[in-house]
């Protein structure tokens, strides 16, 4: 069971009237019921004590006085409590109700709390002698859930989610979907690196924890990432100094994991290199590559299938030779670093160019590439490239063509060359003017709340003209767009890739005019979308959204923009009967479709007023230079037919979420395993996983035991091939170790699957019987659409070499 404190104020009022404050929440339409049915209770008073019953250090409610004195108030307090209980019971269906006693920052004085609650319980129950039918006791959510189940009722069924949430007519909690976008990206990167760290610890075993580079420890990052999931951490709804501390904890975790990764790579590759981790490649900073005439690139792929991914490294040479693990040449190019990037990183970094090449790595493994600077006299050195400053009309690779308006510089059309389809797409940046409150309500836009003072955003470029220039070679084609002094974008096509990459850089957001600003990237198309758009739920289930509509109650819309914003964790798309435009994100953002054929994502926000939800300071984020935070990110855009779209966006979203990781080294390190040559390429799998199966977890559990999770990453019915059940031979999947025994566990790995005993609830639509747990055959593990299966595997590691 799950108990929630916050649901939309209109939703709650409707549920109270219908006595549907407790329900069954069906979390997936792909898995057969009741597998994902979750009993959900909505608490009566958020999670606070009833009014007048707060007894803590900072509370002002009178204590229970039952002594013989003039201050004796016990009869009044008991009567008030009984009235509140009776009123609450009118909205719930059984003779049991839950009364929350506590709130944020409470129990600083626990003795005071329990002293008063003891008295309250005793005196309420004493009224039973005079005919009262109310009995009060200390309880737990588990005990309460059990009593609800014993009532043997049928419960209403909910298929959608609880977004967006508002606690008043102009008070939509949709701003935090984007708040602190840099920290949201850092959290996403940290989880990416944590999975890589855990995988390498599992693959290398003890050698990862105790190696030549020092003690490696994944627990520091694991705990920091866990803390960052707090509802006032990754959400961006904390004070600035608290956000700084969350980032500090993540940074400490990265340091510990980088030691572990270095140890593991040395053991698995057989070479003790002087590994270098360049954490600022997104602004083209890496001291090793900027000065070295020769270095190696270790490209690690955490996915269960082969991945090809573009590499960009800051350099100063005019040309470089790149070779793959077999010593074969790899096409590469050198291009100038953009002026915006050079400004962004300051004058202290010397790299003036970027080296580009396409790297490929086997599943759950690495490939090592060697990079050598070429001398000017070398006949292989190509002529230096300079950006073309004219207005570009189009860029194109094997799969995609992107057209631009030659007069305005805006993107105007995307073509899928494989499917011979095209779609007019206008994309630009806008800002909503953040409300500071008005006569109707003083509610301001803040860390939690998104409240624009107009439904019409303002173009960042001011005029229609966007200055552009073109960079074009055999590996990449880029149109650099400059919308203002604080907003730029690179529209990029990599050779061989089916998506359009939009790399945006926004900030410092100017606020000298006294207005907070909320920045969006908006796409406008000719798709007939009928007020519908689609967002993901934690990167898995796709949910249909309808503008100005809620599936379970009649909405009275008070905020036409903020009231239609939803969380976008990995993707948002719009479609008609033929075509689908999908945008993938590299962090959680707020998004919507404010008018038909459009979609938008909020990328950054800077606000001058607090929204009165507990933060106590405005969301101004000064950034590294104290002038205002600059944020850089990417949107990957796919145009496809509706029936084929999932085949593209499901796999690409995983590549973005579990992105490959690049480690650098000068090269020429000594041997790790005496008498054995080093490996330039390695895969921990005997064969690739099927495209619809994702290796969700590979991590150490205890001595000789690993935690494994396999995930079917397609929903039922969204792909002709991807949505089919898939079978994996788990016993013969891995090459780095031998699995000697397997036990299937619950999702959290806290119980054997056959020991899980869930309460069976009856929805109003009729009962559904749980399926029996089949006998496990680890050589034939079948996954249904959206299914995750969890295993503990005992393993025996193979001798190196």
Is residue 306 a contact partner of residue 366, using CB atoms and an 8 Å limit? Answer: no
Query: Which pLDDT score is estimated for 343?
Result: 84
Both 631 and 724 in a single domain? no
Work out whether strand 2-4 and strand 37-42 pair parallel, antiparallel, or are unpaired.
parallel
Both 697 and 763 in a single domain? yes
Residue 42 within any structural domain of the chain: yes
Is residue 711 a contact partner of residue 654, using CB atoms and an 8 Å limit? Answer: no
Query: Which pLDDT score is estimated for 801?
Result: 45
Confidence class of residue 382 from pLDDT cuts 50, 70 and 90?
A: low
pLDDT 10s digits, 75-103: 999 999 999 999 999 999 999 999 999 99
Residue 672 within any structural domain of the chain: yes
State mean pLDDT over 115-123: 98
Q: What is the CATH classification number for the domain harbouring 33? A: 3.20.110.10
Place of tokens 């959900």: 40
Element (H, E) at 506: strand 500-506
Q: What is the CATH classification number for the domain harbouring 363? A: 2.60.40.1180
State mean pLDDT over 118-147: 97
Phi-psi region of 60 (alpha: psi -120 to 50; beta: other; left: phi over 0): alpha
Both 310 and 443 in a single domain? no
State mean pLDDT over 182-204: 98
Both 642 and 759 in a single domain? no
Measure the CA angle with vertex 181, ends 179 and 185; round to 5°: 140
Both 136 and 207 in a single domain? no
Of the CA atoms within 13 Å of residue 24, those in its CB half-sphere come to 24
Is residue 451 a contact partner of residue 435, using CB atoms and an 8 Å limit? Answer: yes
Both 674 and 724 in a single domain? no
Work out whether strand 681-683 and strand 566-568 pair parallel, antiparallel, or are unpaired.
unpaired
pLDDT 10s digits, 770-801: 888 889 999 999 999 999 999 999 999 986 54
Strand partners, 634: 503
Q: What is the CATH classification number for the domain harbouring 698? A: 2.60.40.1360
| SS percent in the chain: helix, strand, coil, step 5 | 20, 30, 50
How many folded domains does the chain comprise?
5
The DSSP secondary-structure symbol of 747 reads T
Q: What is the CATH classification number for the domain harbouring 233? A: 1.20.1270.50
Alpha helices in 329-457 (DSSP H): 339-345
Query: Which pLDDT score is estimated for 677?
Result: 83
Residue 67 within any structural domain of the chain: yes
Share of the chain above pLDDT 70, in %: 97
Q: Which of 206, 241, 269 is the last residue of a domain?
A: 269
Is residue 40 a contact partner of residue 26, using CB atoms and an 8 Å limit? Answer: no
Phi-psi region of 375 (alpha: psi -120 to 50; beta: other; left: phi over 0): beta
Q: Which of 216, 241, 269 is the last residue of a domain?
A: 269
Confidence class of residue 173 from pLDDT cuts 50, 70 and 90?
A: very high
Is residue 778 a contact partner of residue 738, using CB atoms and an 8 Å limit? Answer: no
pLDDT 10s digits, 42-78: 999 999 999 999 999 999 999 999 999 999 999 999 9
The DSSP secondary-structure symbol of 112 reads H
> Is residue 575 pLDDT above 70, yes or no?
yes
Query: Which pLDDT score is estimated for 342?
Result: 87
Query: Which pLDDT score is estimated for 375?
Result: 83
pLDDT 10s digits, 269-304: 999 999 999 999 998 999 999 999 999 999 999 999
Q: What is the CATH classification number for the domain harbouring 607? A: 2.70.98.30
> Is residue 348 pLDDT above 80, yes or no?
no
Q: How many CB atoms lie within 10 A of CB 70?
A: 6
Query: Which pLDDT score is estimated for 770?
Result: 86
Give residue 521's domain range.
Answer: 394-656
State mean pLDDT over 522-543: 97
Confidence class of residue 388 from pLDDT cuts 50, 70 and 90?
A: low
Residue 633 CA to residue 417 CA, distance in Å, equals: 26
The model carries a pTM of 0.95
Per-chain mean pLDDT for the chain = 95
Both 334 and 432 in a single domain? no
Bond preceding residue 35 cis, omega within 30 of 0: no
Residue 624 within any structural domain of the chain: yes
Both 317 and 463 in a single domain? no
Alpha helices in 395-450 (DSSP H): none
Residue 240 within any structural domain of the chain: yes
Residue 334 CA to residue 471 CA, distance in Å, equals: 11
- What are 511-515's contacts with CB under 8 Å, separation 24+? 511/606, 511/608, 511/620, 511/628, 514/608, 515/433, 515/434, 515/608
Query: In the numeric block, which tokens belong to residue 613?
Result: 């939800």
Both 700 and 675 in a single domain? no
Element (H, E) at 589: strand 589-592
Confidence class of residue 347 from pLDDT cuts 50, 70 and 90?
A: low
Confidence class of residue 439 from pLDDT cuts 50, 70 and 90?
A: confident
Q: Which of 131, 158, 185 is the last residue of a domain?
A: 158
Kindly report the backbone phi and psi dihedral angles of residue 326, in degrees, each rounded to the nearest multiple of 5, phi listed first: -90, 5
Both 184 and 40 in a single domain? no
Both 408 and 550 in a single domain? yes
Torsion sign over Cα 608, 612, 617, 621: negative
Residue 398 within any structural domain of the chain: yes
Higher pLDDT, residue 211 or 635: 635
> Is residue 464 pLDDT above 80, yes or no?
no
Residue 112 within any structural domain of the chain: yes
Residue 163 within any structural domain of the chain: no
Torsion sign over Cα 506, 507, 510, 511: positive
Both 13 and 130 in a single domain? yes
């Amino acid at each position: 069971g799950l108990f929630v404190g916050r649901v939309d104020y209109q939703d709650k009022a409707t549920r109270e009237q219908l006595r549907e404050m407790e329900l069954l929440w069906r979390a997936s339409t792909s898995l057969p019921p009741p597998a994902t049915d979750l009993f959900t209770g909505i608490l009566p008073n958020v999670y606070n004590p009833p009014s007048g019953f707060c007894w803590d250090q900072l509370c002002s409610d009178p204590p229970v006085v039952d002594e013989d004195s003039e201050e004796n108030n016990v009869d009044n307090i008991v009567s008030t409590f009984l009235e509140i209980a009776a009123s609450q019971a009118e909205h719930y269906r059984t003779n049991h109700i839950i009364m929350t006693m506590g709130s944020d920052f409470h129990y600083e004085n626990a003795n005071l709390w329990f002293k008063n609650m003891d008295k309250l319980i005793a005196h309420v129950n004493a009224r039973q002698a005079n005919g009262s039918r109310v009995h009060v006791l200390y309880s737990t959510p588990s005990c309460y859930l059990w009593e609800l189940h014993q009532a043997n009722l049928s419960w209403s069924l909910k298929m959608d989610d609880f977004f967006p949430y508002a606690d008043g007519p102009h008070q939509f909690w949709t701003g935090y979907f984007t708040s602190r976008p840099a920290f949201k990206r850092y959290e996403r990167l940290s989880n990416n690196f944590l999975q890589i760290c855990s995988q390498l610890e599992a693959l290398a075993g003890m050698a990862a924890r105790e190696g030549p580079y020092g003690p490696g420890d994944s627990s520091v990052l694991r705990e920091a990432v866990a803390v960052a999931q707090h509802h006032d951490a990754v959400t961006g709804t904390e004070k600035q100094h608290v956000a700084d501390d969350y980032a500090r904890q993540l940074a400490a975790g990265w340091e510990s994991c980088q030691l572990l990764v270095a140890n593991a790579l040395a053991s698995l590759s057989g070479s003790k290199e002087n590994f270098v981790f360049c954490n600022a490649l997104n602004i083209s900073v890496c001291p090793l590559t900027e000065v070295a005439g020769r270095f190696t690139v270790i490209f690690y792929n955490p996915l269960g299938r082969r991945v090809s991914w573009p590499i960009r490294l800051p350099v100063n040479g005019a040309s470089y030779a790149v070779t793959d693990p077999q010593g074969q040449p790899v096409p590469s190019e050198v291009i100038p670093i953009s002026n915006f990037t050079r400004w962004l990183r300051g004058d202290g970094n010397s790299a003036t160019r970027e080296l580009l090449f396409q790297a490929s790595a086997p599943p759950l493994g690495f490939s090592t590439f060697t990079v050598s600077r070429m001398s000017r006299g070398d006949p292989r050195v190509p002529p230096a490239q300079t950006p073309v400053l004219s207005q570009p009309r189009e860029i194109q690779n094997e799969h995609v063509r992107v057209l631009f308006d030659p007069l305005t510089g805006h993107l105007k059309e995307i073509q899928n060359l494989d499917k011979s389809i095209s779609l007019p797409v206008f994309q630009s940046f806008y800002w909503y003017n953040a409300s500071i409150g008005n006569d109707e309500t003083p509610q301001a836009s803040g860390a939690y709340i998104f409240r624009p003072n107009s439904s019409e955003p303002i173009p960042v470029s001011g005029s229609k003209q966007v200055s552009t220039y073109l960079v074009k070679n055999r590996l990449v084609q880029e149109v650099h767009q400059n919308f203002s002094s604080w907003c730029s974008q690179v529209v990029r096509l990599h050779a061989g890739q089916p998506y359009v990459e939009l790399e945006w850089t926004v900030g410092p957001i100017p606020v000298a005019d006294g207005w907070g600003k909320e920045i969006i990237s908006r796409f406008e198309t000719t798709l007939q979308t009928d007020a519908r758009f689609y967002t993901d739920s934690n990167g898995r289930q796709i949910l249909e959204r309808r503008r100005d509509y809620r599936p379970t109650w009649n909405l009275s819309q008070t905020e036409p923009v903020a009231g239609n914003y939803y969380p976008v964790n990995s993707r948002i798309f719009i479609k008609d009967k033929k075509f689908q435009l999908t945008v993938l994100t590299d962090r959680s953002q707020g998004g919507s479709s404010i008018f038909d054929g459009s979609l938008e994502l909020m990328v950054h926000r800077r606000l001058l007023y607090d929204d009165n939800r507990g933060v106590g300071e405005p969301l101004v984020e000064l950034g590294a230079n104290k002038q205002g935070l600059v944020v850089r990110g990417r949107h990957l855009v796919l145009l496809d037919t509706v029936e084929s779209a999932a085949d593209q966006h499901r796999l690409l979203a995983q590549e973005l979420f579990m992105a490959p990781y690049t480690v650098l080294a000068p090269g020429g390190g000594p041997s790790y395993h005496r008498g054995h040559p080093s490996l330039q390429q390695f895969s921990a799998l005997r064969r690739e996983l099927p495209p619809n199966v994702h290796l969700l977890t590979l991590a150490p559990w205890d001595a000789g035991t690993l935690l494994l999770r396999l995930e079917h990453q397609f929903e039922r019915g969204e792909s002709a091939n991807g949505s089919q059940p898939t079978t994996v031979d788990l016993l013969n999947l891995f090459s780095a170790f031998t699995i000697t025994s397997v036990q299937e566990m619950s999702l959290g790995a806290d119980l054997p699957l056959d020991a899980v005993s869930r309460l069976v609830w009856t929805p109003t639509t009729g009962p559904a019987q749980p399926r029996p747990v089949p006998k496990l055959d680890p050589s034939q593990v079948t996954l249904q659409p959206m299914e995750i299966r969890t295993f503990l595997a005992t393993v025996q590691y193979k001798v190196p070499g």
